[in-house]
Amino acid sequence: MKKDTLLGHAGRDPARQHGIVNPPVYHASTVTFPTVAALEAASKAPLEGTYYGRYGTPTQFAFEDAVAQLEGASHAFAVPSGMAAIAAALTGLLQAGDHVLVTDSVYFPTRKLCDGRLKGWGIETTYYDPMIGAGIADLIRANTKVVFTEAPGSLTFEVQDIPAIAAAARAAGVLVVMDNTWSAGLYCQPFDHGVDISVQAATKYIVGHSDAMLGTVAVRDAALYERLKLAATGLGFHAAPDDCYL
């Protein structure tokens, strides 16, 4: 399916909405269940349906499905901003004693997160030349868990050799996170190039009108989705249904 066609269909299921193309805005905190047994079953699998407002409503689910389809991801979820997406990915993957490699051309607030909060949690960051390519292998340590990339670089616009970086990282058992904001999921398919997690500041191009704050996290497989989504909801990250509808 061409991207132009996909943009008109992604995340929409008129058959479930009485034939209406766009899903409505569902505002919700509490979700009721017909029996205690149903509640207990839902609590054991909160990502498999509507469980509690913080985990999402059909409005958020529709937006998340659209993002996953556009990026070619297994799953995606929404958070309140691009920085929330970056924070959800990094804090969901790293813990005290870990090491992360971050491109030196990184978005400045991401650098502040690494040099401030992550450092305070005992996570070490090394910044690398964005044009390093396969040479990233020389910087990977035994405790390196993540390589963070941007293509293009958010400020200086270098285009990193993502396939080479991803191949080196995968050989060492290291996950690759890519900030894919510039492409909006349309002009770069990170999962085709070996990336494990794609984050976006959806505030920029996906929202497009400077009237909402949103971030997205798209992942390669269901296991990563569960790991990061539960980390994000545990930190209280929640994208408003009105913003997702926009």
| Contact yes or no for 47/55 (Cβ under 8 A) | yes
Residue 189, CA distances (Å) to 69, 77, 173, 182, 192 in order:
10, 17, 21, 12, 6
- Tokens found for residue 61: 């689910």
Torsion of Cα atoms, 175 then 181 then 187 then 188, to 10°? -10
By three-state DSSP, how is residue 63 classified?
helix
**Contact predicate 71/218, CB 8 Å:** yes
Give the Cα separation of 39 and 73 in Å (integer).
Answer: 30
Give the residue numbers marked as catalytic.
54, 107, 179, 204
